[in-house]
Chain A
Amino acid sequence: MTKVQRILRVFEGIMMLLCAVLLNVAPFGGYVIVIVILALSLINYAFRRLIFYFTMARYMVGGRSILYSAVIILDFGILMLGFVSLPGIYLAIYLGVIHLVSGGVDIYNAIDAKKLGSSLWLRGAVVGAINIVIAFVAIVAGLTTKSVQIFVVIYSIGLVYSAIIRIVSAFRKTAIVYIQ
Chain B
Amino acid sequence: MQKDFHYFATICAAHLAGFDPEESIAIGYASQFTDCCTKMLLKMADAPLSAATTQSQSELADSRIDLVALQDITRIWASFHFLPRDLTADIGKKSKLYKNKYHLICGPNGPLAVDTVNLVKGKTPEAFGMAMHVIADTWAHTYFAGTPSLVINDTTSWFYEILTEEEAARLEEEKKAMQSAKDEEADRKIETILNAHMSAKVAANAAQAARATEELNIERERIRSEEEIIRFADGQVGRKVKFNHNPMSPDDLVTGYYTNAAKRSRENSIMNLGHGRAGHLPDYSFIKYKYLPAWGNYESITKDNPHDYYNAFCQMIRAMRFLRGDIGEFRADEYDYEIALPVKDEIDTILRRRQVDASKDWKALAEKMMGCPVPDFEIRTYLDEYMEADKNDRDDTPFGRFIIAALAQKSMVTGKIYNSGNLLAGYSVDFSTKGFRGIKDFTKLVIGMENRK
Instruction: Tell me, yes or no, whether B101 is within 8 Å of chain A by CB.
Output: yes
Other-chain contact of B429, A120, A172, A176 (Cβ < 8 Å): A176
Instruction: Tell me, yes or no, whether B42 is within 8 Å of chain A by CB.
Output: no
Contact check, B415 vs A113: say whether CB atoms are below 8 A apart. Answer: no
Chain B residues whose C-beta falls within 8 Å of the C-beta of A144 in the assembled complex: none
CA A176 to CA B97, docked complex, whole Å: 22
| Contact residues of B between 295 and 329, Cβ < 8 Å to A | 295-298
Other-chain contact of A60, B56, B154, B429, B438 (Cβ < 8 Å): B154
Binary interface encoding of chain A residues 57-98 relative to chain B, with 1 for a CB under 8 A from any of its CBs, else 0: 101111101100100000000000000000000000000000
Other-chain contact of A173, B410, B412, B414, B439 (Cβ < 8 Å): B439
Contact check, B429 vs A177: say whether CB atoms are below 8 A apart. Answer: yes
Contact check, A56 vs B98: say whether CB atoms are below 8 A apart. Answer: yes
Instruction: Tell me, yes or no, whether B374 is within 8 Å of chain A by CB.
Output: no
Given A174-B71, A177-B445, answer yes or no on A61-B156 (Cβ-Cβ < 8 Å). yes
Contact check, B426 vs A61: say whether CB atoms are below 8 A apart. Answer: no
| Contact residues of B between 155 and 181, Cβ < 8 Å to A | 156
Binary interface encoding of chain A residues 1-22 relative to chain B, with 1 for a CB under 8 A from any of its CBs, else 0: 1000100000000000000000
Other-chain contact of B432, A57, A112, A179 (Cβ < 8 Å): A179
Instruction: Tell me, yes or no, whether A145 is within 8 Å of chain B by CB.
Output: no
CA A66 to CA B284, docked complex, whole Å: 32
| Contact residues of A between 119 and 148, Cβ < 8 Å to B | 119-121
Contact check, B247 vs A115: say whether CB atoms are below 8 A apart. Answer: yes
Contact check, A59 vs B151: say whether CB atoms are below 8 A apart. Answer: yes
The total of Cβ contacts below 8 Å across the A-B interface reads 135
CA A83 to CA B438, docked complex, whole Å: 49
Instruction: Tell me, yes or no, whether B337 is within 8 Å of chain A by CB.
Output: no
Chain A residues whose C-beta falls within 8 Å of the C-beta of B150 in the assembled complex: 57, 60
Given A118-B62, A175-B426, answer yes or no on A56-B95 (Cβ-Cβ < 8 Å). yes
Interface residue count for B (Cβ, 8 Å)? Answer: 59
Query: Within the complex, what minimum Cβ distance (angstroms) separates A177 from chain B?
Result: 4
Instruction: Tell me, yes or no, whether A52 is within 8 Å of chain B by CB.
Output: yes
Instruction: Tell me, yes or no, whether B217 is within 8 Å of chain A by CB.
Output: no
Query: Within the complex, what minimum Cβ distance (angstroms) separates B102 from chain A?
Result: 8
Contact check, A179 vs B446: say whether CB atoms are below 8 A apart. Answer: yes
Contact check, A61 vs B427: say whether CB atoms are below 8 A apart. Answer: no
Binary interface encoding of chain B residues 428-442 relative to chain A, with 1 for a CB under 8 A from any of its CBs, else 0: 111110001111101
Contact check, A176 vs B66: say whether CB atoms are below 8 A apart. Answer: no
Name the CB-closest residue of A to B60: A116
Query: Within the complex, what minimum Cβ distance (angstroms) separates A31 from chain B?
Result: 29
Instruction: Tell me, yes or no, whether A178 is within 8 Å of chain B by CB.
Output: yes
Contact check, B298 vs A115: say whether CB atoms are below 8 A apart. Answer: no
Instruction: Tell me, yes or no, whether B418 is within 8 Å of chain A by CB.
Output: yes
Contact check, A175 vs B438: say whether CB atoms are below 8 A apart. Answer: yes
Name the CB-closest residue of A to B271: A112
Instruction: Tell me, yes or no, whether B397 is within 8 Å of chain A by CB.
Output: no
Given A56-B101, A60-B295, A61-B292, answer yes or no on A178-B61 (Cβ-Cβ < 8 Å). no
Other-chain contact of A175, B95, B98, B437 (Cβ < 8 Å): B437
Name the CB-closest residue of B to A123: B62
Contact check, B418 vs A178: say whether CB atoms are below 8 A apart. Answer: yes
A-B CB proximity, top 10 nearest: A175-B438, A178-B415, A118-B61, A117-B58, A175-B427, A55-B95, A60-B151, A178-B428, A116-B57, A60-B294
- Enumerate chain B interface residues (CB-CB to A < 8 A): 50, 56-58, 60-62, 66-68, 71, 75, 94-95, 97-98, 101, 150-152, 154, 156, 245-248, 262, 265, 267, 292-298, 408, 410-412, 414-415, 418, 426-432, 436-440, 442, 445-446, 449
Please list 10 pairs of residues, one from A and one from B, whose beta carbons are closer than 8 Å in the complex, sorted by A's number.
A56-B151, A57-B151, A59-B94, A62-B294, A116-B58, A120-B62, A173-B440, A176-B410, A176-B428, A180-B430
